Structure formats: structure tokens, C-alpha cells
Amino acid sequence: MTAMTGRHAPMSTKAFFPWVALTTVLLAACHGSSSPSNVGVVTSGTTLAIALSTDTGTTTVLSSGQLTITATLINDASSQGVTWALQGPGALSNITTTSVVYTGPSRVVGNEFATITATSITDTSQASSVTVTTNGSPTIPQPVLFPGNQNISYVGYINVAGGAAPFTWSVVAGALPNGLSLSTSTGASVAIVGKPTSTGTSNFTVQAVDYDGLVATVNLSLTINNQTACLLNGQYAYQLTGFLAQKPAVRAGTFVVDSQGNVAGQYDLKNGATAQANQTLTSGGLCQTYTQNFGALPMSSSYANELFDYATGQSLSSGHMQQNDGTSQLMGGWFTQQDSTSFHLSSVAGDWVFGLVGDNGSLTRLGFAGRLSVNAQGLISQGAADSTAGIGFASSAVTGTLTAPDATTGRGTMTLTIGSQSYPFAYYVIDANRIWVVSNDTGTSTPRLAGQLSRQAGAGLLDATQFNTPGVMSLWGMRYVQNSPAATVALMRYQSTAPGVLTITSDVVAEGAYDVYNNTSAQPATMTANGRGTIGLTIGTSSRLFVVYSDGHGGGYVVEPGSLVNNYGIIRPQTIFAQQNTITTFNTTYYLGGTVNAVATAPITNLAQLLIGQGSVSGAVSGYYVLDPTSGRMAFSASRLVLGGADVVGYVLDQQHLVLMGDSLSSPNSQIAWIEAY
């Protein structure tokens, strides 16, 4: 990943951004270019620039293979060249002020990453970096093969990491279900395709042999269900946010899908036209499976007949859903299976942090971050919260009550008194550590809020060590422009360099303007014993202060009081760095996800299938990416508009989760998506 210092530019100057140049290079390289190509350029505020190129035009080597990297300096008056540094496995040799030879590590299984940095001798503030991927002997990560349906077309994917293409794929033991076969792929991904002709479970072994004759195998099992069965089966809670007629809409509920695809459940919904509390779902159509992990979920009630697209992952226990029924209500969000053993007050009792976002009922954005304690009788005490509506940085007291959750649905009601105002909610228990919340009063001009409670650990003992694990803040801001919502979103990654001191990397998309990759050091952070803290951020002459509430596990919720766009956010830890300061493996695998906390009416995205690995993206969106293994930052170049633009920036949170943000080039609005591996 190209190392860059911060600068501020409207979207029209994007062509000068180094990571865009790098993704363009990878596009050429992946199509067979053998001529040297730039793999990184820095032009950060001075006339001096550094261009890096490789002798193969790629940034990939085989295990123990070599790659020559050349640095070309532009406007280097003294012609002193560069110094070289390596972070990660492998070794540098034949080092000069203009070139270096990188030798990849030996005995690699799958992939490993290393970052090579060239720093100008004339101006040491200028540097350019390239991430090199070493492909070792092939291995097949255990895939998730979703159940199929008899007489319904099926597609399932198997991927290999490492090795050298072309690959030869085959079934070497057992047999695929009747009607299915392997595709004719010679690449790093092969598909199981066809139309199953019978039900049952088949066990088989798939083998991949690479160009050098190295072999990888994986044992698999695939179940084919009856023709009408749905992928979803069981009880799920869900939360959706979006808009109706340009006004915020919030919803949460529970649904149950039985073995025949019938849907039951209940929900709470509030938008600018109606407030529906505790609506019961009635019979209305069956849950359907369309492709490997994608289908349609009908929800009918006395209020409306609605249809939602869903994409499921993680052994069918969670996923993303999006309203897709031709109505003017545009919503998206996520669902997850409920743990019914947590449907009682004793499970709900304890310490929690919470985040709530929406509007005040009059189209002024409103967000809260806070913490509270619940006793075994449902009494809320020891609470504190900060709001986007605040102009200072003094928290408000939080008190309230909640009823016991229903033993069947996990639904209860809760009233939070924050400062002098009371807010009524319905809540849905997911498990003992997560609860979804939504406004449920009957007014249409009162606050419309949705959010979540997360179990807090270590209350009363917390301090600034909560920032020791790197984290990524996803920030959502919004204001109305000519009666339409306009989005400002941001991803900010922090890393502690000393107690109470952070280095922060920020990307902000503000209504079509992209403030790209600002790296700022020596930023202050505080944390009190109850988990309330602050993070300061100064870029140039602009100073900001965020209030955070920590869950005690490196995550939490955040607001920016006094922000012009009323920023609200969620912090998720980068646990991939818990044991080391670099990503050594990033497996090729499939992801799903979509828009979270929509701050504009479009686009609201459902990404059912994304194959991400070895520098490329395919599936619902195709393109290429580069990855910085020292920060987990990713930059995508996509084949079509997604999340508001054709280019996307994001972070690896762990081996199962990514966060992505569109660049808003082709629309005034960008969105943030959380995606998960399956």
C-alpha cells in the first residue's frame, strides 16, 4: 500500500491520489503486462515525488522468488536517491539508492505480505511504499457450502490460496450431488454448478494441482434440501434504517422461518408517515432461495405487504437485508439468530454501552452514545450519555426502566430519560451481549431513533489502555440540502503510540468532497473508569473532539458534539493486530454485507457475494485492491458504482470482517458497509 501524508482535495482531483495510480497498475498487471509499471507515487504537498516500479510489472512473487524494485525520483535536485526499508518476511539485497532486490520467504503456505518503503534522502518526509505478496504452496481454506434446493440452480465456490496458476481442479473422492459438477476454471477459484436432481447430503474431496504440481485438497459436505425450503431456518432479530419520502425511517423486529419457508414474527417501525408498534406478521408467501446465499423474505402485516432481499453467511446465522418491493420506503440493515435462553431479565441485567441515531422528528439529525446499568428488576441507573446535539462536552445523566423480554420473541420495552427528556423504545434481545433498540412511541413528529446495546466489561476499572488495540471508527453524518438528505461519512483508524497518545488515519467523504488519507500523530485520548472518553483530532488548523464510550473490549460508540453534520459512529477493534503489528495472512474468500446506518436515500446496497483475495475482487462487484498489511487499510477500484462511487477505501478488522466506504465520485452521497466472510 502506498504510504501517503494527508492533503485535502475535492473529488475532481482524485487522479492525483497515489492509491488510485496503484490500483490502475494492478489492473494492467493482472491482465498480463510484463513491462515495468509504477506501483506507487507520492506527491504530497511538495514538488518532489517518488515512483516505484517492478521488473515484472506485478507485486507478486512465488516462495523464495525475487522481484527487483526501482525508485524514480522526480524533481530531486541533489540526485541522492532513496533509502530502503522492509517490514514483514523476506529479505532485501543488491541495495542501491535507486533499486533493491526483494527475495520472498521460503516454505510459505498460502500467502504472506511484506511492505518495502523507499524514503527520499533529500527530503525524508517523502516516502513511497509497495506491498509485495508471496504466493507459497497452495492451500484450500475450508469453504462454506450453502445448502441447495432440488431442481433449483446452484452455485458454490471453492478457493485456493498460494500456488501458481493455472490450477487443475477435480473431485478425487466421493461424489458431488446428482446434477452438480465443477466448473472448467483454471484460476484460483472453482465453482460447483448445476441443478440438483435429488435431496440428501453428499461427502466428497476436491483437489487443486498448481502449475508446479503442488497439491491442495479439502474435504467437503453439501446438503440438498427440498425445492421449497429456505436457507433461513430459525428465529432471527433484525434492524433496518433508511428513509421514506426523504425522512428517516427506523425499524427492528424478529422473524421466524420454519422448515417449509413460512415466515412469522413481529416488528416496530417508525417513519415520517406512521408509527407501528408491535406489529404481528401474517401469512403472506414463502421465504425463497435464489442463489448460493441470496434470496427473498416476505413480511406481511396489517400495515403493509413487504419484500426484502437477504444475503446470509456464517453458517446461516447472520447476514444483511434490504427492502426491495417497489415502495418508497428504502431501508437496509442486518439480521442475526437469537439466543432464546437470554430472553429474561437476569440475562439483560448488567452494564451496557449504547449507540442511538436518527433524527429529532423534525429532520435534525440526532445521535447518542452512552452507558448504563440494569438491575434484575429492570431499573436503569448509573447512566451517562453525550449527544450530537450538544455544544459542550459534559455528559447527561441517564435513568429509566425496561420490561422483561417476551419469552418467545425476546421483545421488551424500555424508557430512557437522557437529561430532561424521555425516549420510549422497543428492544429485541439477540443474546446476552447484544440488544437492538428502536423508537416505538405513536408520534410521527417525535424522535426516530435506532441503535444497539453492547455488553460492557470492566465498568469502573477502565482507562486509556482501552486504546491499546487498534480500532476503526465508522462515522455517519447527515444534513438536509434542498430538502434531501446529504451524507458525510468517514473511516478513522487509530493506534496507540503511548498511554493517551494516538496516531490517526482518516478518510472523509463530505457530500462529494474526499479528504484523503490524513496521517496525524500525537493525538490525545482519555478514558474514565466508567468507559467515557475523548479522542482529539487536529489536521492543519482544524481541531475536532469525539466523545467515546468503550465496551471494554476495544469497541464502542462515538459522537461528535457540535459537529455541523452531527456525526455519530461505532468503533470496532482491529483484532487482527492483537498478537502482531502486521497482517501475515489474508485468505481469499467470499464476503457479504451492505449499507449500515444509511445517511442518504441512495445508494442503499446489498452485497450478496464478493470474492476478495490476491489483489482482486469479483462476484457482485469486480475490480482490484491493494492492502497495507501494517494498518489493514485497503483501496479498491470497482467495475461499477458501489456505496456511492467506483473506488472504495476500507479496513480489515479481523479474518472475518471488513469495513468499506465509497468515494462518492459519481453521486453527492457515499455510504459505509460492513461485510463478513462466509
Q: Is the pLDDT of residue 146 over 90?
A: no
Q: Determine the pLDDT at residue 42.
A: 47
Q: Determine the pLDDT at residue 45.
A: 40
- The CATH superfamily assigned to 148-225 is Immunoglobulins (2.60.40.10)
Mean predicted confidence (pLDDT) in 622-639: 84
What are the grid coordinates assigned to 614, written together?
Answer: 490476491
Q: pLDDT tens, 615-624?
A: 778 877 888 8
- Burial string for 556-595 (b: 16+ CB within 10 Å, else e) reads bbbbbbebebbbbbbbbbbbbbeeeebbbbbbbbbbbbbb
The answer to whether 95 and 53 have CB atoms below 8 angstroms apart is no
Q: Determine the pLDDT at residue 667.
A: 65
Q: Determine the pLDDT at residue 1.
A: 29
With bands split at pLDDT 50, 70 and 90, how would you rate the model's confidence at 663? confident
Going from N- to C-terminal start, the domains of the chain cover 7-135, 148-225, 234-331, 342-455
Q: Is the pLDDT of residue 423 over 70?
A: yes
With bands split at pLDDT 50, 70 and 90, how would you rate the model's confidence at 34? very low
Q: Is the pLDDT of residue 333 over 50?
A: yes
Q: Determine the pLDDT at residue 110.
A: 81
Mean predicted confidence (pLDDT) in 493-511: 94
Which has the higher per-residue pLDDT, 573 or 162? 573
Tell me which H or E stretch contains 28.
helix 18-29
Q: pLDDT tens, 288-308?
A: 888 778 899 999 999 999 999
Q: Determine the pLDDT at residue 4.
A: 29
Q: Is the pLDDT of residue 26 over 60?
A: no
Q: Determine the pLDDT at residue 666.
A: 57
Q: Determine the pLDDT at residue 222.
A: 95
How many whole angstroms separate alpha carbon 426 and alpha carbon 528?
30
Q: Is the pLDDT of residue 336 over 90?
A: yes
Compute the mean pLDDT over every residue in the chain, rounded to the nearest whole number.
87
The rounded percent of the chain whose pLDDT value lies above 90 is 60
Which has the higher per-residue pLDDT, 388 or 678? 388
Q: Is the pLDDT of residue 65 over 60?
A: yes
Class of residue 26 by CB neighbours under 10 A (exposed 0-12, middle 13-18, buried 19+): buried
With bands split at pLDDT 50, 70 and 90, how would you rate the model's confidence at 512? confident
Q: What single letter denotes the amino acid at residue 333?
A: G
Secondary structure class of 466 (helix, strand, coil): helix
Which has the higher per-residue pLDDT, 28 or 324? 324
The answer to whether 274 and 303 have CB atoms below 8 angstroms apart is yes
Q: In what order do the strands lie in the sheet with 294-300?
A: 275-280, 263-270, 247-257, 234-244, 329-337, 318-323, 305-313, 294-300, 288-289
- Measured CA distances, 219 to 148, 207, 591 (Å): 18, 9, 21
With bands split at pLDDT 50, 70 and 90, how would you rate the model's confidence at 664? low
Mean predicted confidence (pLDDT) in 428-443: 97
The answer to whether 115 and 130 have CB atoms below 8 angstroms apart is yes
Mean predicted confidence (pLDDT) in 538-561: 95
* Least confident range of 1-5, 251-255, 284-288, 667-671: 1-5
Q: Determine the pLDDT at residue 35.
A: 36
Q: Determine the pLDDT at residue 85.
A: 92
Q: pLDDT tens, 207-266?
A: 999 988 999 999 999 999 888 889 999 999 999 999 999 999 999 999 999 988 899 999
What are the grid coordinates assigned to 192, written together?
Answer: 460447483
With bands split at pLDDT 50, 70 and 90, how would you rate the model's confidence at 22? very low
- The sign one gets for the Cα dihedral 551, 554, 556, 561 is positive
With bands split at pLDDT 50, 70 and 90, how would you rate the model's confidence at 318? very high
Q: Determine the pLDDT at residue 321.
A: 96
Mean predicted confidence (pLDDT) in 124-135: 83
What are the grid coordinates assigned to 208, written together?
Answer: 487443486
Q: Determine the pLDDT at residue 96.
A: 96
How many whole angstroms separate alpha carbon 270 and alpha carbon 176?
48
- The CATH superfamily assigned to 342-455 is Calycin beta-barrel core domain (2.40.128.20)
Q: Is the pLDDT of residue 63 over 60?
A: yes
CATH placement of domain 7-135: 2.60.40
Q: Determine the pLDDT at residue 418.
A: 96
Q: pLDDT tens, 475-488?
A: 999 999 988 999 99
With bands split at pLDDT 50, 70 and 90, how would you rate the model's confidence at 13? very low
With bands split at pLDDT 50, 70 and 90, how would you rate the model's confidence at 46? very low
Mean predicted confidence (pLDDT) in 191-212: 95
Q: Determine the pLDDT at residue 184.
A: 92
Q: Is the pLDDT of residue 344 over 90?
A: yes
Q: Is the pLDDT of residue 139 over 80?
A: yes
Query: Do 7-135 and 148-225 fold alike per CATH?
Result: yes
Nearest alpha carbon to residue 517 among 410, 647, 402, 413: 647
Which has the higher per-residue pLDDT, 473 or 637? 473
Q: Determine the pLDDT at residue 10.
A: 29
With bands split at pLDDT 50, 70 and 90, how would you rate the model's confidence at 583? confident
